Structure 1
Amino acid sequence: MQCFRSLLKLIALSGFITFKSVFAADISSPDTETGIGSDQSVIQISGELAVADILAFKQISKSLPPQTIVRLNSPGGSLLAGIEIGKIIASSGFATSVSDTCASSCALIWLAGTPRILTPSARVGFHLAYKSDMDQTESGAGNALVGSYVTNLGFGDNVVRYITSAAPDDMQWLSSRDADLLGIDIVVSDSRDVKSVTTEALPSESEGVDASATAAELIKSIILSTAYSDTKALELVTRFYADQVLYFGEMRSKKDVYSDKVKYFKRWPYRSVSLRDETILASCQFATCKVTGVYDWGVGNTKGRKKSGSAVFVYEFEVSDTVRIVAEGGEVISRY
């Protein structure tokens, strides 16, 4: 081991450091990358991650400044490597960047960056931890490690639930809408701010924007927030609901609606929502929009009680200088 550490130190004296193995990712760092008016330190990680990459990354990063960007292009690999490299990035204050694909344990690394950078075509994907390539059943210990790591990065339970929601053979690809709902701050690489779909006012048709499509995106964000973040969901009630709302057939004050949702979140702390996009219909006339559709839902509590099914939703809102939801309703159409 001492001999290997000495060899790493010798290699690190060169202007371009590369660690390669058939069992590990490629980790490299040019001395600097010249940008506009400044030099930028960069670490590049590509390929499948292995435990050996922890030491390689630690060696290559230890002398680099906090302004360093870690560029990621990996399908994932070792869970331990993803978590430990992520810890180094978080403690060093490095940024993370994805321009292609970063999935599984790579996505855990990306979460550790400050800031987290994406290009418009980038894909970041998550799934739950599993035991091995030969035994792709859920690993409780592995997901506990993920939960602890994500919590220490400053995220809440909503993020933990989200990144462990997909099966081992599936992938939960992060969208800008999901990132906004979850409170995962991202920056796009072309320097334009990432726009939230939950805007204060809907653009008019005269601005060349499909108001119906924008209305649908707004309501989808509100529905999805009920599964990803209690705080975000309640914030949207405060922000968008009218003072008086036709709430499931009864006129209720915004305060009453807020209280009802708080009770629901406390009763069912574990929630999931999957929208059936093909069922969503939105129409806008004059200053009023209506959005309807179907979603699948699941809820659970700390006592192990669970329910699931599908439901129809109906929202109506008025658009002037601001958006104000004036009606919310729906009904369960099936239970599983």
Structure 2
Amino acid sequence: MQYFRSLLKLAAISGFITFRSVFAADIYSPTAESGNGSDQPVVQISGELAVADILNFKQISKSLPPQTIVRLNSPGGSLMAGIEIGKIIASSGFATSVSDTCASSCALIWLAGTPRILTPSARVGFHLAYKSDMDQTESGAGNALVGSYVTNLGFGDNVVRYITSAAPDDMQWLSSRDADLLGIDILVSDSRDLESVTTETPPSASESEDASATAAELIKSIILSTAYSDTKALDLVSRFYADRVLYFGEMRSKREVYSDKVKYFQRWPYRSVSLRDETISASCQFATCKVTGIYDWGVGNAKGRRKRGSAVFLYEFEVSDTIQITAEGGEVLSRY
């Protein structure tokens, strides 16, 4: 389907949503020839990470076998991208490899590998999560996400403390001694990759592309972005909303939608979102996609006001050469 290919191209290549950069990282799967004549599956991730890279990595890696090597060369970027890509790597049984530099959210990805490969000159660095480039103060919510992620990878509190010990403008570079003390197993290799890290037979590639699943991933990324960066969430409206939008039951101009979101962000500067994946439903017909579901939310402000609850959401968008969000709506289900 042409519109689905356009959807993938826009979401995964052009950087559909980012937190620190307009462009997504460069993610692709070259064929690496191993020393024994067989092909070693490899995925390369280079450059600054953006939320769009979650979808891109998922699409590229879904047909690859366990212990595919994920080569990393990145200064970091989106915290959410690092955590979500790391989760995919951990659940898929992929290996991770660094031969140059992998820092910040990239280092979180590297932690998820089995094994974790480093060349002698490689550098892996960590620091605590911060709110934004404009406000480099510690993000309690961000570091809580990091702690939960690292714990689920099987590491203890000592590793969590270590990787969140450096300030946002500093870096805790992992040494082999620190890795030993922390219990972070490392495989040091003089070559860029190992000859082989798996003997399993790769599954056959998927013969069909699921536009509905892709649409759901895009809308999930849109919703989650509102909890991370006001600037990028508003940039999303400017770049991807249609000139006229059915906005919570009323036809509004893009400018009116933008203004409404500015007011909401100013009123509630502290926000959290947790999607209920099992409730999310997506359908695509021709060049139009519709996505609905439920999420839990929390908001707060500097005066100490706090609200929490759950809500249903609905988005519709059209796909051609660009993505145009034509409808956004929803309803609060509960407050508590």
TM-score, normalising length: structure 2:
0.52
Deviations 1:226-254 (A, max 9, x none): xxxxxxxxxxxxxxxxxxxxxxxxxxxxx
Superposed, 1:169-318 pairs within 5 Å as 169-190=169-190
SS of the equivalent of 1:91 reads helix
User: Counterparts of 2:135 and 2:156 in 1: how far apart (Å)?
Assistant: 29
Which structure 1 residue ranges, 4+ long, deviate > 6 Å from structure 2?
8-11
Superposed, 1:15-54 pairs within 5 Å as 19=13, 21=15, 22-30=22-30, 32-37=31-36, 38-54=38-54
Question: Given the alignment of the two structures, is residue 6 of structure 1 paired with residue 5 of structure 2, yes or no?
Answer: yes
Contact in 2 for aligned 1:73/1:102 (Cα 8 Å): yes
SS of the equivalent of 2:100 reads strand
Structure 2 gap segments, 5+ residues each: 16-21, 192-336
- With over 3 angstroms needed to count, the CA separation of the structure-2 counterparts of 1:190 and 1:130, relative to structure 1, is same
The residue that corresponds to 2:85 in the other structure is: 85
Deviations 1:139-185 (A, max 9, x none): 00000000000000000000000000000000000000000000000
The residue that corresponds to 1:149 in the other structure is: 149
The residue that corresponds to 1:120 in the other structure is: 120
Q: Percent same amino acid among aligned pairs?
A: 87
The residue that corresponds to 2:110 in the other structure is: 110
Larger Cα-atom Rg: 1
- How many residues are aligned here? 183
Cα deviation, residue 75, structure 1? 0.3
Contact in 2 for aligned 1:86/1:109 (Cα 8 Å): yes
Cα deviation, residue 39, structure 1? 1.1
User: Counterparts of 1:97 and 1:4 in 2: how far apart (Å)?
Assistant: 35
User: Counterparts of 1:72 and 1:86 in 2: how far apart (Å)?
Assistant: 12
User: Counterparts of 1:86 and 1:34 in 2: how far apart (Å)?
Assistant: 25
Contact in 2 for aligned 1:58/1:88 (Cα 8 Å): yes
Structure 1 gap segments, 5+ residues each: 12-17, 192-336
Cα deviation, residue 34, structure 1? 1.1
- Stretch moving more, 83-92 or 2-11: 2-11
Q: Give me the CA root mean square deviation.
A: 2.1
The AA in structure 1 aligned to 2:173 is W
TM-score, normalising length: structure 1:
0.52
Cα deviation, residue 20, structure 1? 5.4
User: Counterparts of 1:190 and 1:169 in 2: how far apart (Å)?
Assistant: 31
User: Counterparts of 2:85 and 2:3 in 1: how far apart (Å)?
Assistant: 19
- With over 3 angstroms needed to count, the CA separation of the structure-2 counterparts of 1:33 and 1:144, relative to structure 1, is same
Contact in 2 for aligned 1:8/1:59 (Cα 8 Å): no
Cα deviation, residue 122, structure 1? 0.3
Cα deviation, residue 7, structure 1? 3.8
